[in-house]
Structure 1
Amino acid sequence: MDLFVIEAPMKARTLENLLARLGFSAKVQATKGHFFQMPKSLETVGIDVQMREFARVGDAGIIQRLRAEAQIADNVIIATDADAEGDVIAWDVAEVIRDIHPNPLRVRLRALDDVSVKEAINAAVPVSKADAVAGRTRAIIDRMIGAGFSRPDLSVGRVGTALLGLLDKAKPSVFKMQLVAPSKDGGRPWMAEAPCTAPFDESVGRRLVALQFPMLAIGSQRTICPPPGHTGDCMVRAVDQLDMSPLEASDAMQNLYEVGRLSYPRAGSRGMSTASAARVAELLRKAGYNTDPTKIASKAPEGVHDSPHPIGKVDLNSPPAQLGHAEGVRALIARDLVKSGQTYIEETAVAAGLIPFLTSHGFSPAVAQAVASLNWRRESGPRYPGQNSWPKSELQERRADAVILEMAVEANLGRPSTWGKHIERFMSRNLIDDRMRLTAKGRAWLARSPAELLDPRVSAAIEMACERPRPDAFTDPSREPWEINAERIVKALPPGLRQPLERMVAHEPARPKVDPVEALGLRNSTLAEIEARDASPAYVPQEN
């Protein structure tokens, strides 16, 4: 029997049943997420001068269970999530069973359906320490930043502080204008969208949506196939249309994945493999929409996962809001995928004539120029679910967390696996009011936070550096590659960040590497118990 190791207990039964259908004799064991942890408190950073996480300890119960199951398994296949966090857990699993199974395999599941699982198993590769470098490096850097700059009344973090700086600089709005103008050819009207940010505001927006705009003429046209959305796109749509928080949207997508109803939900790709596109096209055909799989954008070569897509029957005709959160999210994703497999003609309008029109109605030249510069467009082509062919001008009020999520995605703050938690944490701190203006607390935190961390470009640059270790990070046998990578990143930070972080760990002497199995006294303990049991005399009933 083989042992499959995953993260989420909820996914175990789904995968176990699926493996049985595919003919595998397998046991599925869950790690329940990260089973090696640093202390929750930041009072002690737990990182030494050479960037070693000496306070990182494993859960003895989970480790014992993994080793016990590995002892009786023919092969060990690690199928933790195929993202940076899953790669960290995969290497931790490999480390704690390496004396039992020195060469476990790594399987990256794109979805929990028969075809996807079979494909993933056929593409299994050895577990790689290099894959864990990004996640381990990020954990070191983020903990150092949190411990180094936070105070009892001030929380500083690489992503959260960058969000605060981004909101202060961008001055976003919960209001969004949808403006509509008739077409001179009598066809579908032209539409333009814009948030109510400078030179617009809520008052200007309300005046603009009340106008009867003059007719506009066609300026240009092109053929388009809208690409599938990545996780952030799907989450923004769910928050906007289903009145969910980003964390609720993220959790709904994760739960759907774990029960085999959605492909991997933490994808940064806006594209699909050929095989996945074909399966999606067939699913949509059964739902009543013809979709050409060859028109669905291919994922980038470096992309591991396909864009999120539903698995199994999906309802495309009912309003998604009536289907509940989980099925509503699936329906929204599927509706967008219909367009991704079809060709549309996108036309843009000549809108320069709006400038004199708007100034004659009392709008400032800046507002008039901004409205004329918007992307006035319309589409023609095959039908798709939820289509609104004749929209009207309106002022839409969005959830603040939807706006912040959208900004985080565009600024490369965080990752698909962390967007929901970051936005939820930010919103819980009462740093902005219901119109997205900084509160007194928000302004105080802004004034006391490191200026460098308020710049989202610094956070994005750190993220990129975590994911791109240099080759020399793997050359020192006395150190781990993530330690070397973290040290390089800290040294490259601006002085205002680098110097406090270096001082924080300077007093912690370098620690030697610690074998987690030996540290817990588990080396071959399970094997010894089995051997002792097998060597003991068998029980023989005595005759009377």
Structure 2
Amino acid sequence: MPARDLVIVESPTKARTIRRFLGDGYTVESSQGHVRDLPEDKLGVEIEKGFKPTYIVIADREPILQRLRKLATEADTILLATDEDREGEAIAWHLAEALKLDQAKTRRIVFHEITRSAIERAIATPRSIDMNLVNAQQARRILDRLVGYKLSPLVWRKVAGAPSAGRVQSVAVRLIVEREREIESFVPTVQYRLRARFRTAAGELVRAELDRRLDDAEATRAVLSNLIGATFTVESLQTKPGKKSPPPPFTTSTLQQEASRRFGMPIRVTMQIAQQLYESGYITYMRTDSVSLSEEALAAASDTIVALFGKRYHTRRQYQTKVANAQEAHEAIRPTDFSRRTLEGESRQMQQLYELIWKRALASQMSDAELERTIATIAPSRTEERFIAEGEVITFDGFLRLYSDQRDEDAENEDASESTLPSLAVGEQLSPEEIWARQTFSRPPARYTEASLVRKLEELGIGRPSTYATIIGRIQERGYVERRSTDGTTREIQVLRLRDGTIVEEKETETVGAERNKLFPTVIGNLVTDFLTEHFPDIVDYQFTATVEEQFDQIARGELYWQTMLESFYKPFEQRLGQVIATAPSVGRRMLGTDPQTGEDVYVGINRYQRFYVQRGDRFANIPSTEQLDELTLERALYYLQ
């Protein structure tokens, strides 16, 4: 039997797809992800030997390695075809090390999409393993192990009920904790918004609003009084053309955000589905911070747009990435075949996400939507006040024919979007149908969703496309953060309305604070954030964390030695650990006093399940969440311990 070339990839699905494109001269096998890692039961890093890692074979990977060793021995050439990012490069290196591959017959091949032409190009242009990328991955893995392994036991000792602590996850939790505190301390400002509905002589509706907000009910009544019996005239008309440009094709984070907004898809689910689409050959690599498209993709998009909509709808665009510390390693996320509009025979979620990616990538190469915006100024008699009516007409739909990018999630009210205006003329009189003022309250900052937290992390330069889903998942799994909904509360608002020449006061109610699928910090999340902020400010500092990410990028570019980077981080971190162990008080548990009957001390605290308890000696009792812990007395604690 003639020897075959061996192609090794990470996933069985990816292996099956590649087999379709390669002939009998190739054997395609999967490593099923990483084959080696640091041990779970010890640090696995020899700090005094230059942070030398001790890797072990992952328990269930040994049979896979045995099979791959046999196939590698029989093969003419071994092609390591793992993903072209730091994690993929590390998997390729670990495979070469664990299998003891002969360098003379081992090649590294990379591709951004799983298509026949991409695979053939990759095989024709092999390279060696990029140790700069491997070292960047090792540096991240070792640093996170050092922080987690050294910091977690300290946090367990000092913060009652705390789970393990991590580097980037602690920064993400801090963002959520600080946002919650902004909301709790927020004091709304009150204004009055005065609006009107007019009719033209032909009976057409014109919606308008006073050109300023009013500060209180007294000022609002004064304005309304001046409008009693007034006539209303169109004072000026301003019409000018406008345009809307399409958004760029998806990056990892913008795909996560849009799938969350449109479909309510959790970040982790989005990445699982995108991985399936990539490994099945439907889309390009899904971990990217680039918004650029290849020349081949630009040409294919052009052909599809012209065929579907005509030449006027096509405008060639090449976008530039503006994200902090973008790596530009890949293209944006796009279909591998623009002529494939839908997927047949795949799951509904795969079809949904694919169609979203297809529309977004294609729309990015379409023409601007052309608009005509009209602003009418309406002057009442007897007062200097002015009303403004705005309208917008789409004169050419452009990319909107395919893709709507409306951001209506946080629209303030039903009038937030502009409407069309009837034909008006300067000097034309309008009849007032309704004039009213409504009390409004400024809104606190919105709690983070999974998607908006990713956007914030990206803005700060924290995390990377390959890590967002892990960060978001981990802070919830470890109990620092909860994803939940709240019904909000109702409040009464004042409405002042002109009716038959008099000002009538009405009361309405509105719901405030109702939110769906938002991230809330838990008690433990608050306690650990406060502890780390006080004792390890660098660990939860946004700029420091972004700087560490930039250092990983420098290692990947060959500009920084990975052991130098770890040394500069670890020395001050180790010194701080010793100081905190010796001096920091414990939090999350406090003594209430002594039981006069038994002489035993009585404590209140929180356990790992985030339940509050009281303790006397060996006896524990849970206490209701309605109790105010800061106000809990010894007498109440003894009552619960009965």
Report the TM-score when normalising by structure 2.
0.58
Greater Rg over alpha carbons, structure = 2
Question: Alignment partner for residue 138 of structure 1, among 124, 137, 140?
Answer: 140
Q: Deviations over 1:499-524 (max 9, x none)?
A: 247999xxxxxxxxxxxxxxxxxxxx
Q: Is the 8 A contact 1:218 1:347 kept in 2?
A: no
**Is 1:308–2:333 an aligned residue pair?**
yes
The structural deviation recorded for 1:343 is 3.0
Where does 1:50-449 land on structure 2 (aligned, <5 Å)?
A: 50-59=49-58, 60-97=62-99, 100-102=102-104, 104-150=106-152, 151-152=155-156, 153-171=162-180, 224=245, 226-283=247-304, 292=314, 294-297=316-319, 303-312=328-337, 314-315=340-341, 324-344=348-368, 381-382=397-398, 383-387=400-404, 394=413, 400-428=449-477, 429-432=479-482, 434=485, 436-449=519-532
Q: Is the 8 A contact 1:144 1:501 kept in 2?
A: no
* Distance across 2 between alignment mates of 1:348 and 1:159: 47
Q: Is the 8 A contact 1:104 1:127 kept in 2?
A: no
The structural deviation recorded for 1:427 is 2.5
> CA distance change for structure 1 residues 63 and 385 in 2, over 3 Å: closer, same or farther?
same
State the match for 1:532 in structure 2.
Answer: none
Where does 1:6-21 land on structure 2 (aligned, <5 Å)?
A: 6-20=9-23
Q: Which runs of 5+ in 1 are unaligned?
A: 174-178, 191-213, 354-360, 362-375, 475-480, 505-544
* Distance across 2 between alignment mates of 1:465 and 1:226: 30
* Distance across 1 between alignment mates of 2:108 and 2:237: 57
- SS of 1:469's equivalent in the other structure is helix
**Is 1:453–2:525 an aligned residue pair?**
no
- SS of 1:402's equivalent in the other structure is helix
Q: Is the 8 A contact 1:299 1:306 kept in 2?
A: no
Instruction: Supply the AA of the counterpart residue of 2:138.
Output: R
The structural deviation recorded for 1:323 is 7.7
**More strand as a share of residues:** 2
Instruction: Supply the AA of the counterpart residue of 1:408.
Output: L
The structural deviation recorded for 1:315 is 4.2
- SS of 1:270's equivalent in the other structure is coil
Instruction: Supply the AA of the counterpart residue of 2:546.
Output: A
Q: Is the 8 A contact 1:269 1:299 kept in 2?
A: yes
* Distance across 2 between alignment mates of 1:155 and 1:446: 13
> CA distance change for structure 1 residues 144 and 270 in 2, over 3 Å: closer, same or farther?
same
> CA distance change for structure 1 residues 61 and 393 in 2, over 3 Å: closer, same or farther?
same
Q: Is the 8 A contact 2:177 2:525 kept in 1?
A: no
State the match for 1:537 in structure 2.
Answer: none
The structural deviation recorded for 1:147 is 1.1
Report the TM-score when normalising by structure 1.
0.68
The structural deviation recorded for 1:259 is 0.9
Q: Is the 8 A contact 2:44 2:55 kept in 1?
A: no
Identity of aligned residues (%): 21
Q: Is the 8 A contact 1:262 1:308 kept in 2?
A: yes
Name which of structure 1's ranges 159-168 and 402-411 shifts more when overlaid on structure 2.
402-411
* Distance across 2 between alignment mates of 1:165 and 1:378: 44
- SS of 1:252's equivalent in the other structure is helix
* Distance across 2 between alignment mates of 1:403 and 1:389: 16
Q: Is the 8 A contact 2:133 2:555 kept in 1?
A: no
Q: How many residues align?
A: 432
* Distance across 1 between alignment mates of 2:413 and 2:335: 32
**More helix as a share of residues:** 1
Taking only aligned residues, the RMSD between alpha carbons, in angstroms, comes to 4.4
Instruction: Supply the AA of the counterpart residue of 1:110.
Output: H
The structural deviation recorded for 1:295 is 1.9
Q: Is the 8 A contact 2:135 2:556 kept in 1?
A: no
The structural deviation recorded for 1:465 is 0.5
- SS of 1:105's equivalent in the other structure is strand
